[in-house]
Amino acid sequence: MSRLPTATAMNHPQNSAIVYLVGAGPGDPGLITIRGAECLSRADLVLYDYLVNPAILRYARPTAELICLGGHRFQRVMAQEEINARMVEAARTGRSVVRLKGGDPDVFGRTATETHALLAAGIRYETVPGVTAALAVAGYAGIPITHADYSSAVALVTGHERQDKKGPPLDYEALAEFPGTLIFYMGVTTARQWSEALIRRGKSAETPVAVVRRCSWTDQQDFRCTLGTVADEIFARKLRPPAVIVIGEVVGLAAEQSWFTARPLFATRVLVTRPRDQAENLVTSLTELGADVLVQPAIEISPPTDWAAVDRALLGLEHYDWLVFSSSNGVRMLLERLMQIGGDLRRLGKLKLAAIGPGTADALRRYCLRADIIPSEYRAEALAESLAPDAQGQRFLLARASRGREVLAEDLRAAGATVDQIVVYRSSDVDHPEPQIADALASGRIHWVTVTSSAIATSVVRMFGASLRKARIASISPITSGVLRRLGFVPAVEATRYTIDGLVEAILRDREPPDAA
């Protein structure tokens, strides 16, 4: 066996060139280690395998160069020498390099050729372990891979041995007698060979088998069979890699469905259309429920073109009795501006605060401000109604978007109030959706489109047109639904509480069977 150059010889302090070999885990972006995410967040160059979920790249800096090493149908596969050369060259020029690999870098990861090349070139490396596919199967497909009664050992086995390997070939006799669980990697296309080899050496054809494909991804698939039927099953289902195959009595101990696939929105693809920096709540709720969430903002929020009117109002806040917010953007933009021009919360003095709904009230709370009024129904008419009884002679300042409805100002004036409006942020339509998202929608691969405001409704219809009919629309409120309907699109569900949580509940309700009459 050829020896590697010793790592210590290369580890002298002046040599800052370094490559991090990082395990990305099996797919779920949450399964990378903290150390792995930390390395990614510092990397200038990330070379990642096709097995790596691109969603993990969100831990990288926006300026990092990201290179997929191919493996997908339409991509060029980069030769190993080329990968090595890229890593060495980048590290030598002082760039921080992450080589990101699916699962754990050292489990069937062909890491040795890369570390060898790095050491030979005098480049240091560190390895950050990852959750290997076999362990993900235990957690995400619910199959215990060891069990006190049934399995005291686990073997990770490759279904794809290189013909020219230096060591001895796999000993199927020993594997057939192995007293525990066998887990095959890279075994999809070779299922007939390895399953027959095991049976020929005496392993029972009745041994329970589980096949788990794309474990921990939002489209994880798994099925059960036996060692005798696994090759036919894989063929009949036209199953494609990556999948691991678990063989052993422990398979029989797993529940029919794992916690992962049993989540209510598992395998449901949902499009979120809010501006990116406001999408997080909705994305998190849906993701936790198992959905595969895509984000395509329909509108963008930006500062007003001119702050003069806002600044004037901020310098004269004592002239008002009420400050009214109709969105969390309004809260953020106005209060940040107050800081920017040298003021702080004390300027709000005795002003009373109104928020159109709980989201807006939450935004206020983040600045340690409590809304004095939140209407029971979260829309402008209801807000005007709850303010109207005491509005006579009161002075209102409304912090609003560049476009929006006039109803609040009109109703308050009708109730005898003085109303000034200031535009604290601009809302503009996003011109074009990302092509992959437009494609996914047009080809029916998106199940739900969420629409969380009138402005978004208009923009979504303009952006996607007839493709929208391929998905079900979830609308946040009757006002939003009204806009959609006028444009010819009938929402499939509408929230009964006009909040993000309400919208998620509406989607969930839709899944439940209708009440028996």
**Least distance (Å) between residue 70 CB and ligand SAH:** 14
Site stretch for ligand SAH (CB under 6 A), options 3-11, 237-245, 462-470, 473-481: 237-245
Taking CB under 6 A as the rule, does residue 185 contact ligand SAH?
A: yes
How many residues sit close enough to ligand SAH to count as binding (CB under 6 A)?
A: 24
Nearer to ligand SAH, 23 or 297 (CB): 23
Residues 6+ apart with CB under 8 A from 445: 269
Taking CB under 6 A as the rule, does residue 243 contact ligand SAH?
A: yes
Angle 454-464/478-486 helices, nearest 10 degrees? 30
**Which one among 133, 333, 383, 479 touches ligand SAH, defined by CB under 6 A?**
133
Nearer to ligand SAH, 183 or 461 (CB): 183
**Which one among 29, 109, 142, 330 touches ligand SAH, defined by CB under 6 A?**
109
Nearer to ligand SAH, 56 or 279 (CB): 56
**Which one among 209, 244, 353, 417 touches ligand SAH, defined by CB under 6 A?**
244
Taking CB under 6 A as the rule, does residue 108 contact ligand SAH?
A: yes
Taking CB under 6 A as the rule, does residue 246 contact ligand SAH?
A: no
**Which one among 52, 175, 215, 471 touches ligand SAH, defined by CB under 6 A?**
215
**Least distance (Å) between residue 21 CB and ligand SAH:** 11
With beta carbons less than 8 A apart as the criterion, state whether 26 and 131 touch: yes
Site stretch for ligand SAH (CB under 6 A), options 73-81, 206-214, 406-414, 480-488: 206-214
Taking CB under 6 A as the rule, does residue 107 contact ligand SAH?
A: yes
CB burial of residue 146 (10 Å; 0-12, 13-18, 19+): middle
Site stretch for ligand SAH (CB under 6 A), options 215-223, 229-237, 319-327, 425-433: 215-223
Which residues from 403-442 bind ligand SAH, rule CB under 6 A? none
Q: What are phi and psi of 29, to 5 degrees?
A: -60, -20
What number of CA atoms fall less than 13 Å from residue 99's CA on the CB side?
Answer: 28
How wide is the angle at C-alpha 315 spanned by C-alphas 391 and 405, nearest 5°?
45
Q: What is the DSSP string of 369-409?
A: ---SB--SS-SHHHHHHHHGGGTTT-EEEEEEESS--SHHH
CA distance 199 to 35: 42
What SS3 class is residue 165? coil
Taking CB under 6 A as the rule, does residue 247 contact ligand SAH?
A: no
**Least distance (Å) between residue 25 CB and ligand SAH:** 8
Which secondary-structure segment (H or E) carries 124? strand 124-128
With beta carbons less than 8 A apart as the criterion, state whether 323 and 313 touch: no
Taking CB under 6 A as the rule, does residue 132 contact ligand SAH?
A: yes
CA distance 260 to 139: 9
Q: Which residue is nearest to ligand SAH (CB)?
A: 103
**What end-to-end distance do the CA atoms of the chain give, in Å?**
74
Nearer to ligand SAH, 186 or 250 (CB): 186
Nearer to ligand SAH, 159 or 359 (CB): 159
What SS3 class is residue 367? coil
**Which one among 57, 88, 182, 212 touches ligand SAH, defined by CB under 6 A?**
212
Site stretch for ligand SAH (CB under 6 A), options 97-105, 275-283, 375-383, 506-514: 97-105
Taking CB under 6 A as the rule, does residue 241 contact ligand SAH?
A: yes
Taking CB under 6 A as the rule, does residue 103 contact ligand SAH?
A: yes
Q: What is the DSSP string of 432-456?
A: ---HHHHHHHHTT---EEEE-SHHH
CA distances from 176 to 189, 193, 200 (A): 20, 14, 9
Taking CB under 6 A as the rule, does residue 216 contact ligand SAH?
A: yes
**Least distance (Å) between residue 242 CB and ligand SAH:** 4
SS3 for 229-258 is CHHHHHHHCCCCCCEEEEECHHHHHCCCCC
> At residue 70, what is the residue type?
G
Binding site for ligand SAH (CB under 6 A): 26-27, 51, 101-104, 107-109, 132-133, 185-186, 212-217, 241-244
